[in-house]
Amino acid sequence: MSEANQLQSPLEAPAFAESTPSVLHQLNLCNRLLERLLHNLRNEHNAESEIRDIAREVIQAVAINPDIALACIFLSQINGTYAVRHCIETAVVTVVIARAMALSAVDTLTVTAAALTMNVGMLRHHETFQNKNTPLTSEEMAIVRRHPEESVDMLRCVGIEDDDWISCVLMHHENDVGSGYPAGIASPQVTLNAKLLSLADRYCAQVSARNYRRSLPAQQALRNLIEDKAAPVDPLLVQYFQRELGDFPPGCLVRLESGEIGVVSQRLDGGEARTIHCLRDPAGGVLSPAAQRRTDDGCCIAEALSEDQAAIRFSMKQIWGPQASL
């Protein structure tokens, strides 16, 4: 990523004193803090400040190493309930795209805070819905469609009046053609920040594993969103998602055309170029240490693999070093 696209701001001051902060540790800490905060939100007397602090920590974690932050999502390394973990993962993707778009530090902080709080109005229902193995009832669907408004009501109840933050939460299920909810509004009324949050939310919902289904490959998730005629996405945002995430983001398990199996570890300048840490040779033998390959050096990715298909076990620290330690 070019220096021009990296946000430089006091908002991104290091959160930890260590010489090599761990992105994995920092995101898991954010998740724990957010879980406690959201479940007790109505009793919080300093909610806005605390949420902004967590948002700053997420922004800083991405600034330390965006590839590791993305890999935490695709390797399911953020622990906790899906409802809160999904908010952290959506915030990470939102920050990655916001940095690429060179959004201001203020806008980046606002949309990150919105990602962390977008579902607070449905939090008590989320795990119940997630564990269902039958379609939602009409009453349950009504709860889903009301949750942006209920989330906004809760945020205002605890003193949050930031118009941009509120609008992002309220509109994160709206879209350009007016087929979304809760109000069915269309562009240009739907803000760019709300559309960014919406796309990150929908993307993370597909690439993250649930109790009732496996995660979808990143390539398939992005294609699903682009081809969704019912909820078309902003072409500008699609360009940024394709450039910054692509078919094989960091953390994706892959098979190379050589037959080697490994994990995508780094995005390289120049679009789709990637570094892969290979952990199995073409015959299935373990490679120790992992062998590094580059897709811009003659190595091509043949396909993405599920965890079961890859059949490789490794820690994030083994691939990314201390910045990915627990």
Rounded Cα distance between 117 and 120, Å, is 5
What is this structure's pTM?
0.91
- Joined together, the tokens standing for residue 220 give 């398939």
Cross-strand bridge partners of residue 255 = 261, 303
Tens digit of each residue's pLDDT, the chain (326 residues): 333 333 333 333 334 334 679 999 999 999 999 999 999 999 999 999 999 999 999 999 999 999 999 999 999 999 999 999 999 999 999 999 999 999 999 999 999 999 999 999 998 877 677 666 778 888 888 888 999 999 999 999 999 999 999 999 999 999 999 999 999 999 999 999 999 999 999 999 999 876 656 789 999 999 999 999 888 899 999 999 999 999 999 999 999 999 999 999 999 975 689 999 999 999 999 999 999 999 998 899 999 999 999 999 999 999 999 999 98
Nearest to 123 by CA among 231, 208, 36, 44: 36
Supply the pLDDT for residue 132.
Answer: 67
Rounded Cα distance between 242 and 236, Å, is 10
Residue 272 CA to its chain's centroid (Å): 19
User: b/e per residue, 115-141, with b = 16+ CB within 10 A?
Assistant: bbbbbbbbbebbeeeeeeeeeeeeeee
Supply the pLDDT for residue 198.
Answer: 97
Supply the pLDDT for residue 213.
Answer: 65
